[in-house]
Structure 1
Amino acid sequence: MTAPPLVAAPARALRRKGRKPPPETGKGDLKFALLFIAPALLGFVAFYLWPTLRGIYLSFTEFSLFGSPEFIGIDNYTAIASDDLFWNSMKVTLEYVVLNIGFQTSIALGLAVLMHRLTKSGIIRGSILLPYLIANVIVALLWFWMLDYQIGIVNSFMEWIGIGRIPFFGGEDWAIPTIAFVNVWRHMGYTALLIFAGLQTIPATVYEAAAVDGANEWKTFWKITLPLLRPVLVLVLIITVTGSFQVFDTVAVTTGGGPINASRVIQVYIVERAFERSDFGYAAALSAVLFVILAIVAWAQNRFLGGNESDLA
């Protein structure tokens, strides 16, 4: 003979015995959850979703601060296709992205591995982040003065040792590499800490097994560290590439887009069309095109680099 299944005592019976019934879950938790996410949701709608939707609408209009938007269909987009300054700005931006991401990721990966393998000092690890804690405008102005052709300490030192002065921000061939160098110096510590966090997730037993098999440091790095870091590296690349395409402040306070158009990146061109030429409709169309490009680039990175896959699984 089998015993009857146990059932939970009703709440009224528990109250008669002086015991509190278990708290109900569901609607009460939902109310608290909505309450906590309300500030972030309000900020997202006010500062991201609504400006994005309005920007998309304005991209189909001719609009300036001195009049109302006038719908013109896809005229702005057809004009972009034949805009030489747009294509030049995209070429300059792509050059900057390749230099910035290539050097920044390589140096950050090296710093992260060194922190992980050689030191456990919190002071050393924290000091790598110091440049990132300085405002980007201040960093740009600091390097702008240090690399100045006439009075910059770097050019003075180079002339003293016999190399000669270099127009870092003033030369067409030097402007973008110099801007990329400045931003690499500022962001490599932050990128290194992101990669370092990924290194912390790799079990130490994997390295111990490799050491038992006789693998040296170089082979361990290529055969174990890099494959196991793939999801983190893909995330870092998505973040840094997206941010690099939107570079503005370093260019704005150093070269202003010059000399000629050598450093006029896409964000500088968008600001010029909007606030200098008062062509907000065209600037909105440029922003929409950049948004689509970044979405495609982020999707392609995640899809083809295997961002959702991990060898640890």
Structure 2
Amino acid sequence: MTIVRQAARAEASPAPAPAPGRTRPRSKDLRIALLFIAPAFLGFVAFYLVPTIRGIYLSFTRYNLFGDPKWIGLKNYTDIFKDKLFWNSLWVTLEYVVLNIGFQTVIALVLAVLMHRVAKSTLVRGVLLLPYLIANVVVAMVWFWMLDYQIGIVNQLIDWLGLPRIAFFGDQAWAIPTIAFVNVWRHMGYTALLIFAGLQAIPGHIYEVAALDGASAWKTFWRITMPLLRPVLVLVMVVTVIGSFQVFDTVAVTTGGGPINATRVIQMYIYQRAFAESDFGYASALSVILFIILGIVAFLQMKFLRGNESDLS
């Protein structure tokens, strides 16, 4: 009975409080973690948060470098919706995004599957990533020279085949598809590696079970690989779509927005309004609208493509 009573008292008594010294390592780790995070956080505040807030404020003003901002309310936004150049730039940007994302995603998916099943050499994967490591301006200049109407090696080959030469960057019908092709060539290796990482995360025993059930490679790809790869594909789509909406350097180096307005993408239009026409208030309003568009597009992609769900769980 004595032993039973002692056991009951031990259960009823509260657990001993942890020694004060045990909590010190956690607080010390927290301070060290904050110390490491501080440079990135300060950079985010200085180069992202503060400029964003200031840009939103300037979008409600009339401002140039020769005077102080003058508050005009929603006038910039009402002018934008009546601006034909804005709607043209938005349409040109959408055309570029559809071409760039469509071809880039399909080609990257094929390359990722080939790397996963056939080409397992690290050298091959490095070669695929090589175009992405080259500066975009350099890539644009090289392709601009190769596709030149007079001296470009591509047009010389077309001429040798007896076909009419093509003004890739000078023709309104060819300009945007050509710019999209250049950026597809540069980014497809990097996108393929992202998808390849998603393929490696799929457990191998699932494919073994499918093989035992007699599933063909084609059916396995559509019934197993694609559903399990969906979260990675959605992430890739969100990142690449946001990047495509912000295309600028390739256009600035090759066409400058021409011919006429055929390649005046929205980022190019923002740049021209800000630095060519010194209308920073209007350019800020254009930037805010682009920010809202990108936010809506990313939300819709995550919502309807169920990017935050996985069939592995």
TM-score bracket relative to the smaller structure: over 0.9
TM-score, normalised to structure 2's length? Answer: 0.94
Residue 7 of structure 1 deviates from its aligned partner by: 5.9
Aligned to 2:135: 135
Give the partner amino acid of 1:125.
R
| Aligned equivalent of 2:250 | 250
CA-CA distance at 1:163 after TM superposition: 1.9
1:136-177 CA distance string (max 9 Å, x none): 000000000000000000000011011221010000000000
Q: Deviations over 1:19-67 (max 9, x none)?
A: xx65634432222121111000000000000000000000000000000
Matching of residue 226 in structure 1 with residue 226 in structure 2: yes
User: Which runs of 5 or more residues in structure 2 are unaligned?
Assistant: none
Give 1:185 deviation, angstroms: 0.1
Equivalent AA in structure 2 for residue 274 of structure 1: A
Counterpart check, 1:34 vs 2:29 = no
Partner SS for 1:257: coil
Structure 1 letter corresponding to 2:141: L
One-letter identity of the residue aligned with 1:113: V
Helix, strand or coil for the counterpart of 1:119?
A: coil
**Deviations along 1:238-292, whole A, 9 cap, x unmatched?**
0000000000000000000000000000000000000000000000000000000
Q: Does 1:64 pair with 2:61?
A: no
Unaligned runs of 5+ in 1: 13-20
- Normalising by structure 1, what TM-score? 0.94
Which runs of structure 2 are paired with 1:163-202 in the superposition (5 Å)?
Answer: 163-202=163-202
The one-letter amino acid of 2:109's match is L
Q: Render the CA deviation track for 1:288-307: whole Å, top value 9, x for unaligned.
A: 00000000000000011000
Structure-2 change in CA distance of 1:222 and 1:69 (3 Å): same
Corresponding residue for residue 263 of structure 2: 263
Match of 1:301 in 2: 301
Count of aligned positions: 305
Displacement of 1:127 in angstroms is 1.0
Question: How far apart are the structure 1 equivalents of 2:120 and 2:48?
Answer: 40
Alpha-carbon distance in 1 for matches of 2:214, 2:111: 24
Amino acid paired to 2:189: G
CA distance in 2 between partners of 1:183 and 1:44 (Å): 28
Q: Identity of paired residues, percent?
A: 71
Describe the SS at the equivalent of 1:73: coil
SS in structure 1 of the partner of residue 172 of structure 2: coil
Q: Which amino acid in 1 is paired with 2:207?
A: Y
Question: Is the deviation greater in 209-218 or in 238-247?
Answer: 209-218
Q: Is residue 284 of structure 1 aligned with residue 290 of structure 2?
A: no
Distance in structure 2 (CA, Å) of the matches to 1:10 and 1:240: 50
- Matched residue type, 2:212: V
- 1:77 partnered with 2:72: no
- Which deviations, in whole Å up to 9, do the C-alpha atoms of 1:182-214 show, x marking residues without a partner? 000000000000000000110111111111111
Provide the rounded CA distance (Å) in 2 between the counterparts of 1:289 and 1:10: 54
Quote the Cα distance in structure 2 between the aligned partners of 1:9 and 1:285. Answer: 58
Q: CA deviation at 1:104?
A: 0.1
Residue 159 of structure 1 pairs with residue 162 of structure 2? no
Matched letter for residue 200 of structure 2:
Q
Matched, 1:114 2:114: yes
What is the CA RMSD across the aligned residues, in angstroms?
Answer: 1.5
